[in-house]
Amino acid sequence: MPTVVHAVIVHGKSAGPVIPTLRKTGQIAVFDLLLSVIGLVVLVVLGSSAPSGVHPLYYFGLIFVGGAAFSLLLSGVIVARVRGRRPTFPAADARFFAGVRRGALAMGLCALVTAAFGVLILLTIADGRGSTPLGAGGLATALVLTSATVICAVLTWLVVRREVPKTWPPPAARAG
């Protein structure tokens, strides 16, 4: 449960310290941002190195897998905003935290759905045409990257769900 930190508002800025439990979300945000940028770079390289005359759905598969990496990037940005959050007043904090929780859930689900579509398209092209422009190593790289992206997005949502309070200050702190 988060600890209560009283803040003083001076000229629209909070002078109080940050909420201690939210620092954990900053740690996962850095990992999200790093993995998503690496994923997008790898997908651009895989798309650029494809031979001419490749099936057009190959690029759509990479776009969907890139969509999962992009949703992880957005999730990292959302969670990074929480790291330095200072308490202001209860109504604004409650709306902010609810938005962060919904945003992390939406990005996790978006990563899951777009990654599933991307993998299905890439595997369909491999089976339907007999081979894939990626080759076995490239396909394995894309699948590992996709699974790491989805796992990281879901873990981010779980960390946000656990660490970001639903209300601020917590009910136990309001009574005392």
Task: Evaluate whether 99 touches 42 at the Cβ level (below 8 Å).
Answer: no
Task: Evaluate whether 168 touches 22 at the Cβ level (below 8 Å).
Answer: no
- Sequence ranges of the domains in the chain: 17-81+98-167
CA 5/CA 84 separation, integer angstroms: 13
DSSP string for 123-147 = HHHHHHHSS-TTHHHHHHHHHHHHH
Residue 70: per-residue pLDDT: 95
Question: Average pLDDT, whole number, for the chain?
Answer: 80
CA 87/CA 168 separation, integer angstroms: 8
Task: Evaluate whether 58 touches 126 at the Cβ level (below 8 Å).
Answer: no
SS3 170: coil
CA 103/CA 157 separation, integer angstroms: 9
Reported pTM: 0.78
Residue 20: per-residue pLDDT: 65
pLDDT band at 146 (very low <50, low <70, confident <90, very high): very high
At position 42, the amino acid (one-letter code) is: V
pLDDT band at 1 (very low <50, low <70, confident <90, very high): very low
Q: Which residues contact 5 (CB under 8 A, 6 or more apart)?
A: 16, 17, 18, 19, 20, 87
Which of 40-44, 78-82, 156-160 is predicted least confidently? 78-82
